[in-house]
Amino acid sequence: MTASKIHFQDVLGSASTDKRLEVLRSIHHAGSISEAARVNGVSYKAAWQALETLGNLAGVPLVDKVVGGSGGGGARLTPEGLQVLQAADLLNAAREAALNQIERSTHGAKLNLRGLASVGFRTSMRNQLPCLVKEITKTRSSARVSMSLPDGQQLASKITLESLQLLNLQVEQQVLAMFKATAVTIAPTIVAVGGVNLLHGKVARRGTGSSGVEVSLQITPGLGLVGFADAESPLKLRQLGMAAVEENAVVIGLAG
């Protein structure tokens, strides 16, 4: 039988700590998905979501369910699941050693090295804004995460409770707010409505087009976002403008 290839780079990503990997590790120690969920403070549904995501990223099953027995069954890691944990430990040790070495040098003194550690994660989302979590509001089926941009503007994301648990989000935590350029509407003024983020900035770049105009809006020096305005939009360079993006379109990412 040919050994299955594990896509380590995809499954391990760039974060040095990952609740999904901790769920996998707890299954190895406890032999139970429900116990792994309890130990990590997540729901059983969230634990299964973690396993499904990791399995998809790895390209092979990482967990086998054990049926029957005096304990009523449980779960155990496949050989590939064990390899993923071993690779995670090696990768984390190497990453920490490299970051510590750079931090001790004068060259890395002014860099956000923990944020740069996540550059290996590639996405089609052009807008990736560093934010600070300010408030987390839970409902029965979802959570609203309120974040603050460096200039104090507010941005919110609506996520599932399972995602909240697996990300282990905390107030005052640094995160990345990500969303596609196609999800952003830019105009001179936009009326506020529920469930939609509004951001203010200055037009830094304006393209041309018959169906829509790509606009780069500078929020603060060194921080901007990209969206689209109507083809007939009067927006000009250096003019003040507004950007609208729905809370459901904002994805939260964690840097390494």
The predicted-structure confidence for 128-164, as pLDDT tens digits, reads as follows 898 999 999 999 999 999 999 989 999 999 999 999 9
Annotated domain spans of the chain? 1-122, 123-256
Q: What percent of the chain has pLDDT over 90?
A: 55
Fold topology of 123-256: OB fold (Dihydrolipoamide Acetyltransferase, E2P) (2.40.50)
pLDDT of the residue at 193: 93
The predicted-structure confidence for 183-219, as pLDDT tens digits, reads as follows 999 999 999 999 999 999 999 999 876 668 999 999 9
pLDDT of the residue at 72: 43
> Into which CATH architecture does domain 1-122 fall?
Orthogonal Bundle (1.10)
The reply to whether 1-122 and 123-256 are identical in fold is no
pLDDT of the residue at 70: 43
Which residue has better confidence, 126 or 217? 217
The predicted-structure confidence for 22-48, as pLDDT tens digits, reads as follows 999 999 999 999 999 999 999 999 998
pLDDT of the residue at 11: 55
**Position 69 confidence tier, pLDDT thresholds 50, 70, 90:** very low
Tell me the range of 40-54, 110-124, 233-247 where mean pLDDT is highest: 233-247
Per-residue 3-state assignment (H helix, E strand, C coil) for the chain: CCCCCCCHHHHHCCCCCCHHHHHHHHHHHHCCHHHHHHHCCCCHHHHHHHHHHHHHHHCCCCEEEECCCCCCCEEEECHHHHHHHHHHHHHHHHHHHHHHHHHHCHHHCCCCHHHHCCCCCCCCCCEEEEEEEEEEEECCCEEEEEEECCCCCEEEEEEEHHHHHHHCCCCCCEEEEEECHHHCEEECCCCCCCCEEEEEEEEEEECCCCCCEEEEEEEECCEEEEEEECCCCCCCCCCEEEEEEEHHHCEEECCC
